[in-house]
Amino acid sequence: MTISVEEVFETASMILYQNLDIRTTTMGINLKDCIDNDFDRFTSKVYEKINSNAIRLVKEAKRMELKYGIPIVNKRISITPVSLIMETHCEKAKFVQMAKAMDRAVEDAGIDFIGGFGAIVHKGLTPSDRMLIEALPDVFAETKRVCSFLNVGTNTAGLNLDAINLIGPMLKKTALMTKDAIGCAKFVVFANAPEDNPFMAGAFHGIGEADMTLNIGISGPGVVHSVVEKNRDCDLTQLSEVIKRTVFKITRGGELIGRELAKNLDIPFGIVDISLAPTTATGDSVANIIESFGIESVGAHGSTLAVALLMDAVKKGGAMASGNVGGLSGTFIPISEDTGMINAVKNGFLSLDKLEALTSVCSVGLDMFAIPGDTPESTINAIIADELAIGVINNKTTAVRVIPVPGMKEGESVDFGGLLGEAPIMRVNRGSSANFMKRGGRMPAPVTSMRN
């Protein structure tokens, strides 16, 4: 296919002025073949498999950046859910030791994060699952790059409240053991977690995947914001079409790089995840896109419709461009990582309740938001359960990354720096859910699960 001068200029403009990038190349690695009765040999095999492949990923990704001139911001690894491979070594100290070996493996290779130190517990908990959750505060305190997840619900199994009730205490302990509660930012709890998500903190290498795969995550809020700004007078149908065509172009470029990178690594290409994932960089904000629709601030009435339209157009544009769209693919609305969202909270436009409403139509959920450190554990668990219930009932992925910051109150802010940005402390409803949450058990799957 011939590429015109105009197309070259358009892509260059997106990179130079609108923050277009490959947000992440994430190599998924199966670790089940590393299992060994001798724990030292086990950790050594895990280190070697992760490190050797991570070195290859970094090398080839840098070559692709030079070849095409498109920044690849993060190089990441995702692994088999760790609770599955630790069942014969079910001791807290060994979980921590394994996490430290994984942390060294990616640090030595120049990898940003490793995801998958988690468990799939939507229907029940094994001893290994429980031990992993107990070990997580120590894991986050003693590693820099290890990220964790729990999948506690699906639309076919319901929602595991017994697992959710373990999370609040774990997060409160993690917050006390890590500076500014930063360890909590490396943990996400899911309903309907995808096995091929390349984004942290929720990436893991699913049990249905090949031995190794390469997944690409593309992000272009600045590009979408630019085209919306240029089309202020069109109606919603026309606006959707403009966004859809823009996302189509972004996705095609990402898939080209992903497929070539996978070929150079001699591993299967998995998926391209086209998600509008914001950063703190000027102009790289999903909130600013919503505001350019004609809404004074994200959080004002009309915001849910705007996010729904944006989400739908992104998915349609991606699906038109590639037969391998997967992961989360849609619109992220984190608080701390998006300057527009931060300002909306500070100016009183966006509350936690409205944020929850927005998540009913976005691609993930309540992401990177901070709450007072004295919030009761049962309330944290209830916030998580509310959000994940949206996913279970509506057959969509939802997730929560909540950060209870010790010593901080509503209206204050914590600055994480870098990619994680600044988190204003949000107001939490003080009504107690303790008696409800302590019932435990499992919320049954909805009737929509009976499809077969």
Sole residue written with tokens 């109150």: 409
Query: How confident is the model at residue 157, as a pLDDT?
Result: 92
* Residue 339 to residues 61, 73, 371, 423, Cα–Cα distance (Å): 29, 19, 18, 10
Higher pLDDT, 262 or 420: 262
CA–CA distance, 199 with 186 (Å, rounded to integer): 12
Q: Mind listing the pLDDT tens digit for each residue in 276-285? A: 888 777 777 8
Least confident interval from 2-16, 69-83, 189-203, 212-226: 2-16
Q: Which residues pair with 370 in a beta bridge?
A: 403, 425
Among candidate residues 27, 28, 43, the one with its CA nearest the CA of residue 75: 27
Least confident interval from 293-297, 321-325, 350-354: 321-325
Contact 24, 216 (CB under 8 A): yes
Radius of gyration of the chain from its Cα atoms, rounded to whole angstroms: 21
The mean of the pLDDT values for the chain is: 90
Amino acid type, 157: A
pLDDT band at 331 (very low <50, low <70, confident <90, very high): confident
Least confident interval from 91-95, 120-124, 330-334, 387-391: 330-334
